Structure 1
Amino acid sequence: MVDMHLDPAVLSSLQEVMESEYPKLLETFLDDSEKRVEALRTARDDAKALGRIAHSFKGSSGNLGAVRLAQLCQRLEAESAGATADLGALVDQIDQEFAFVRPLYESERQRFQL
């Protein structure tokens, strides 16, 4: 697994495209991600729900350059289909990764706040 937490090229590209709306995009991602992490915690014993949440979280994380978070979500989505393993440890890893990248996104948002 890649050790990259945030892809600076993705953030730079988003900043160019979104211009003054870039901080709002980051804020929306953070708010949405907080809800998804909470939903993962709540559904930790429901493999089907975990797969659905992980699928959408994987997409938003990848689109915003959260490389490792997207990879963990992809892994959870794949493993939830088999539902033979305890998925709680993977939910915890996603929770921890979001806790790691959240302040990085908050700092990025503050850099571009008008």
Structure 2
Amino acid sequence: MADTHLDRNVLSALQEVMEDEYPTLLDTFLADSEERLCILRNTEDAEQLMNAAHSFKGSSSNMGAIRLAELCNELEQRAKQESLAGIKELVGEIDGEFAIVRPLYEAERQRSLGD
């Protein structure tokens, strides 16, 4: 099933590679994401925004969170230009997208533990 939020093929591949470590990987991704979101919400510093957005983009992409990676990329590009106009709205969108994918990853974690 193609999904705009989550690439299930990426998750299947990760589960094959990670095996027993897969649930831990999901936990780590969620915890790191919370931390990065916290930075994005609270910083006014363009460089800090850029770094947090860059690492969030990378982990989202690795974990198959397609839309989240796109939004983080957009934020990173804007922060690079030091144009902080509309940043709060964009961080709000990233927040909203994470709120959508978070339960999907939690469900995936439950499913993988039940295998």
Name the TM-score, length of structure 1 as normaliser: 0.92
Partner of 1:59: 58
Counting matched residue pairs gives 111
TM-score by length of 2: 0.92
AA matched with 1:20: D
> How do 1:81-96 residues align onto structure 2 when only pairs under 5 Å count?
81-84=80-83, 85-96=85-96
Distance 2:56 2:26 in 1: 14
4+ runs of 1 displaced by more than 4 Å? none
Structure 2: which 5+ residue stretches go unaligned?
Answer: none
1:1-114 equivalent positions in 2, closer than 5 A: 4-43=4-43, 45-84=44-83, 85-113=85-113
**d(CA) in 2 for partners of 1:23, 1:113:** 7
1 CA distance for matches of 2:90 and 2:53? 11
Distance 2:66 2:16 in 1: 19
Distance (Å, rounded) in 2 between the aligned partners of 1:19 and 1:75:
33
Supply the RMSD in Å over aligned alpha carbons: 1.2
| Aligned-residue identity in percent | 59
Report the alpha carbon displacement of residue 112 of structure 1 after superposing the two structures with TM. Answer: 1.0
**1:11-38: CA deviation from partner (whole Å, max 9, x where unpaired):** 0000111111111110110111111111
Q: Deviations over 1:47-66 (max 9, x none)?
A: 22111100000000000000
Offset at 1:46? Answer: 1.9
